[in-house]
Amino acid sequence: MLLVISLGAGGLGWAQTLVALTPETGRVSLATHVAFLRDPSGMMTFDQVQASTAAGQFTLNQSEKLCFGFTDDAIWFRFVLDL
């Protein structure tokens, strides 16, 4: 699994809730804070994924859990870290 992480919030193209992390923060589920892109061929390059991001082809996950079942697809994930 390859993970694409975007630092900062520029150019995301979706509404996203922020999670504030403090020293007291325990476990946090990122499921509702990620977007995903299915690649049925499993052959997309990083440049193609970046182009898909710019074209708005990532889907914001709406579920409390990430579940894609059994699949041979490559699934690319994207979330924001605001440092």
Residues 6+ positions from 30 with CB-CB distance below 8 Å:
79
DSSP state of 79: E
Each residue of 3-35: pLDDT tens digit? Answer: 444 444 444 455 566 777 788 888 888 888 889
Q: How confident is the model at residue 72 (pLDDT cuts 50, 70, 90)?
A: very high
pTM above 0.85?
no
Residue 39 has pLDDT above 90, yes or no: yes
Each residue of 41-69: pLDDT tens digit? Answer: 999 999 999 898 888 889 988 888 888 88
Q: How many residues does the chain have?
A: 83
Joined together, the tokens standing for residue 4 give 């694409």
- The larger pLDDT score, comparing residue 80 to residue 16, is at 80
Q: What are φ and ψ of residue 10, in 5° steps?
A: -70, 135
